[in-house]
Amino acid sequence: MLRSMYSGISGMRNMQTKLDTIGNNIANVNTFGFKKGRTTFKDLVSQQIAGASAPGALLGGTNARQVGLGMQLATIDTIHTQGSLQNTNRELDLGISGNGYFRVGEAGGVNISYTRSGNFYLDEAGFIVNQDGLYLLDIDGNQIEVPPDSQSFSISQTGDVNIIDVDGLLMDPPQTISLAFFANPEGLQKVGSNLYQVSTNSGPEEFAIPGEMGTGTLVAGTLEMSNVDLSEEFTEMIVAQRGFQANTRIITTSDEILQELVNLKR
């Protein structure tokens, strides 16, 4: 009887975690490049009442008798599926069609982080930066510069930043945006501000020109939207809510039985 109460407590606790994950997904439904989370569970250890027995000369074998002791959190996954690309017609908005992550970091290509959020800007010196001032890095790990006196620039599908200089000539060679990729992208660690960093299970960073080595191509003038599906999230919210309510009912039922035991002696 007390086992059932503690099983109910474990269910309530982990359903709260599932609701926390759903709430974060819904809060970020309009966050550029956001990848939704998913919660999975597994059962706790089972208490063995009686072990299994093998068949004998006269009787057949019997199965073990075990009572489960509740459930526990198994994983909180980050689902790295492609989000839809929204057209913005802004030359510094970049969407990735396929695999890969933009490489952003501090001057000199240090403290590199990774993102799918492609809303970039120009700073006062003409360098391409993200919303936090981190530099967008080229294939050599250098900052990408668009001279303030240039006439125009464009970014190709393969990451070439083509700049028309003050004299109307195409600057050569072009700077090329790099995309990072990993053996296990779901192992990347979220650090906030739409950024990921390498973890011990993601594998080391590898990078290439967009469109090479399995990376996607760039689509200028678009932004990748969140891959959160609201209909799915609200359905999962209902499932979590009912799961939570069912576990509270286990506790109240166990409490009623305890009350009956207490009242056996009056």
pLDDT digits (tens, 9 = 90+) for 19-62: 999 999 999 999 999 999 999 999 988 888 888 889 988 889 98
Instruction: Of 42-46, 73-77, 153-157, give the lowest mean pLDDT range.
Output: 42-46
Looking at the structure, do residues 260 and 161 belong to the same domain, yes or no? Answer: no
Q: Tell the residue number behind the tokens 């990451």, with chain if given.
A: 159
Count the Cβ atoms, other than its own, within 10 Å of residue 203. Answer: 15
Over residues 234-245, mean pLDDT: 95
**Are both 218 and 117 inside the same structural domain?**
yes
Do residues 88 and 62 lie in contact, with contact meaning Cβ atoms separated by under 8 Å?
A: no
Q: Residue 262: how many CA atoms within 13 Å on its side-chain side?
A: 6
**Pair (147, 241) in one structural domain:** no
pLDDT tens, residue by residue, 105-149: 998 888 999 999 999 999 999 999 999 999 999 999 999 999 988
Classify strands 189-192 and 195-197 as parallel, antiparallel or unpaired: antiparallel
Q: At residue 1, does pLDDT exceed 70? A: no
Q: Are both 220 and 91 inside the same structural domain?
A: yes
202 and 260 belong to one structural domain: no
d(CA 110, CA 97): 26
Q: What residues contact 100, with CB distance under 8 A and at least 6 apart?
A: 179, 180, 181, 208, 210, 215, 216
Domain count, the chain: 2
| Domain co-membership, 234 together with 139 | no
Question: What integer pLDDT is reported at residue 167 of this predicted model?
Answer: 85
Phi and psi for 195 in degrees, rounded to 5?
-110, 150
